[in-house]
A and B are shown apart, each in its own frame.
Chain A
């Protein structure tokens, strides 16, 4: 079943086109990644899907509920982890989660029951009575995710959930996301500007200046838009340059970078007497973005 179906979505702010006629689909249970730089239109799209922002035109359906007509039903189906924390700093973790749970009409016992399943997995007990503002970045993100899950949503929107986190906290957040996908079978809609975070996605949409510029699985995108690279450690001379004339190559300090679409192993095998010190680098999502936009992704 389709979790989300977006057709010709447009969002305009006066003269600025934030989202420019995009269409895509998200299947139930998949990890769907929306990749793009800051200002590409990722958060605007998420905010439209989550009933926060008005669309200028287009059609959006969330589990077959039409956005703009069945918004209350959509709100019951979604959970969102916003880019910036939106919980109350002066309140404890417990108070934050109980008040948020009540926004969905849940009783205290229902909230207790829902939270009990996350208590151990998300190590909630240790921070339960601490003020949200006193938590570390990673701990806050943990609570943000639980807050987003309190209404037992069918889709979890994660708007750049790891931005600003240290590598250890980032890994922890990703462990939770994996857990939710595998154990809870949640549909996860992720926006990110970290290329490597789309690695495990079932489908990726690359957004640039409000437009979709590519879609596919990470493997498909890499095959289509990124080349494998031979890094050949040798000195630069005319003989070596001549050997590589059929390829796109450059020389960097102590090695050649040679870009291939195919026949890489065949080329190495044919020239094994010359190419002795080398490594092969697979095309990355960074290369995909670079090839699609002509720009490197901001780290």
Chain B
């Protein structure tokens, strides 16, 4: 006998429909799984067999063929288990056939005792399926929190194979997962790392505020102990609240990577990813056998923090260039190409020289000019081109530590949020969300300078030795400073402040 059950497979962060077809015929007992399954699907045979047996049914002592259609697309993951089990039970006439008109999609991994285990990527799967017109889903109950953010669909979160079977016979006894509304969890949240605990460093604090408000990439340069890492770690506490769309996008990626915090269901705070400098190229960009998302995609709508920037391998640094420009990455492999968004803010730290003490008042630097050149040459021009702000973090003195209480992150975040609000209104329908994303056309429109400011920039280029590429960077940062001051146009003071965040250009 023949039966089919609907399921969905995952490719990148997009789902595609998979029809699980099963045919049971007389012959040598055995199960065959076709349709380009990967190893985890091939092993489904054994899980399904035990799950069926332990749910009180019998496994066919006939020849079973399971086909995952379309047969020419590679499939991976354990999420087909439930659909395969149901298809086999239907085909062996142990449960009634699911009619072809029934649009229910079944997703879930089975444990040997018949319970449903959570799977990765539920949110992107359901979003794709809903977009293709599917309105009814059966998923593992542990994925319920994540699925609650789907609108316009009935999602049933069930515990076991036998529960699914009783649901099929009497669906009226079950209620779908109640939908939840997204709310930015940032409000009132306490952060372990808060700007309140950073003493002194007024320059760097202000720079971090601007970077957060405009989404600018920033490079912190300073001797060891100057608090570069601490500053970066405090950054999440002042990042603007996520919008619902941003949260969805980020959750999709984290869901695919299996990184969603248990019970939360959705990413509510901007991600902060800090891979160590031994990270491989693939781990940064994404890829591998399963084309999983890399650090740059996991940091989507959040921060990618690279401490000790010149210590990363040259390849790793260079692969960042294109995603920084395109805000997404296409991972192309022989069998397929997967597209992941990668709109992140790059925050990085480095020492001024290999020993770290150049220009320090604490310790003499013993590096030769050649060593310093070699060290800084690791950061190629094109990469530095994409970093809007570079600042020096200074050593903090004892007096600073004992000084008055610093401004807390809550206060700063309120200002950042206000500035972002202005930007999102201004850039509605332009495809960008913040000042860092400004292109030359939009810049002409929104970053006009008065004569006095234009003059200042001109003089600064001569006097401070700023490079030409610094020009657009300075304008973007000036725009953010103006936004923080709630000013419609860019004023003289905004430009002159923006000019102070280009310390690498001065060398």
Asked if chains A and B come from one complex, the reply is no
A: residues with CB less than 8 A from B are none
B: residues with CB less than 8 A from A are none
